[in-house]
Amino acid sequence: MRLTRRKVIQGGASATLSAALTPPVWAQTTLQADDRTLNTLSDGNLVLPKSFAFGGTAPEGADEMLARYGITGDSMTPDCNVTLLRSGDRTILFDVGAGQEFMPSAGKLLDAFDTLGVDIFDVTDVVFTHAHPDHLWGVRDDFGDLLFPDATYHMGRAEWDYWTDPDTVSTIDEGRVTFAVGAQSRLELLAEQINLFEDDQEILPGVLSRMTPGHTPGHMAFEVQLGSESIMILGDSIVNHHIAFEKPAWLSGSDQDPELGVQTRLGLLDQLSTSQMRLIGFHLPGGGLGRAERHGDGFVFVGEET
């Protein structure tokens, strides 16, 4: 593996601290068909207040529901799953994780790369679901340069237009101002290497875009062809494995447009449960791979280990 400037920085400090403070991270799931290999890679996890799931007062029964999933304290620690697709001469990364400037519990993607034997110079394409910090901020290395210098970058036009609009910083809600500032500074680096696309477009061979707004204005999911089946990379259009599945009509505090997020979530869950298409969720447990199944008047996430 080629030495990167990031590895030079990490070498001294992390050698003594990582074993004690950082849990191991790795390639969590692997799917193969024909000449295509799909992995989910751990970028670590987030640490969020439980109230973040609701954006205000928790609905009746919410605490009891979360307790059934082992969430009983004041915080949640959702996994962060980045997807890697290797197909022929292409190595395609879906989102890039949080990098080193968002949360100390995240930004572990390069450890998973090491486990797979993948180098940053191998990445030919980076595809973004959206521009929130845990999906975008890892695009920049510790020196402020692009971490994947040889890649072509792909983002939905509506998402790009929103985050590069100078007015977004002053119009976004106060709690997300740092999201907007961080997005603009990073997207400026991509201006010469960005491919913008629309809904329902084959952006790369066997990769179809699917507009899934609500979490952000231009959020995209992607249907990836793998042999005879398609797998839906959800990003944050379905953001957790408990409330979003059991009570998809509840408003989510993580969505920038909660009402639109409900419409998107209901439509996706209906499609995924009916077709039994496999899915990968960025914040779903166990690497994020599984299926949605109907359960009463809601749904349940059925995880899958490979």
> Which helix or strand (DSSP H or E) is residue 91 part of?
strand 90-94
The total of structural domains in the chain comes to 1
CA distance 252 to 305: 28
Whether 11 is covered by a domain: the verdict is no
Does this model's pTM top 0.85?
yes
Q: Is the pLDDT of residue 197 over 90?
A: yes
Return all residues near 64 (Cβ < 8 A) that are at least 6 apart: none
Q: Is the pLDDT of residue 123 over 90?
A: yes
pLDDT-based confidence at 202, cuts 50/70/90?
very high
Whether 226 is covered by a domain: the verdict is yes
CA distance 275 to 269: 10
In this predicted model, what pLDDT tens digit does every residue of 231-276 receive, in sequence order? 999 999 999 999 999 999 999 999 999 999 999 999 999 999 999 9
pLDDT, residue 22, reads 43
CA distance 296 to 188: 47
Whether 13 is covered by a domain: the verdict is no
- Average model confidence (pLDDT) for the chain? 90
Q: Are the CB atoms for 204 and 127 separated by under 8 Å?
A: yes
Q: How many other CB atoms are there within 10 angstroms of residue 41's CB atom?
A: 28
pLDDT-based confidence at 20, cuts 50/70/90?
very low
pLDDT-based confidence at 10, cuts 50/70/90?
very low
Q: Which residue has the tokens 């572990």?
A: 108
| 173 DSSP 8-state letter | -
| 36 DSSP 8-state letter | E
Q: In what order do the strands lie in the sheet with 36-45?
A: 27-33, 36-45, 79-87, 90-94, 125-127, 152-156, 194-197
Whether 14 is covered by a domain: the verdict is no
Question: Phi, psi at residue 162, to the nearest 5°?
Answer: -65, -50
Q: Is 171 helix (H, G, I), strand (E, B) or coil?
A: helix
Task: Provide the residue range defining the domain that includes 279.
Answer: 24-303
pLDDT-based confidence at 9, cuts 50/70/90?
very low
CA distance 187 to 136: 9
Whether 124 is covered by a domain: the verdict is yes
Whether 8 is covered by a domain: the verdict is no
CA distance 273 to 261: 18
Kindly report the length of the chain: 306
Query: Which tokens is 180 given?
Result: 């907007």
Q: Which residues are registered as beta bridge partners of 225? A: 230
In this predicted model, what pLDDT tens digit does every residue of 48-79 receive, in sequence order? 988 888 777 788 889 999 999 999 988 999 99
Whether 282 is covered by a domain: the verdict is yes
Whether 112 is covered by a domain: the verdict is yes
- The more confidently predicted of residues 3 and 148 is 148
> What's 29's domain CATH number?
3.60.15.10
Q: Is the pLDDT of residue 83 over 60?
A: yes
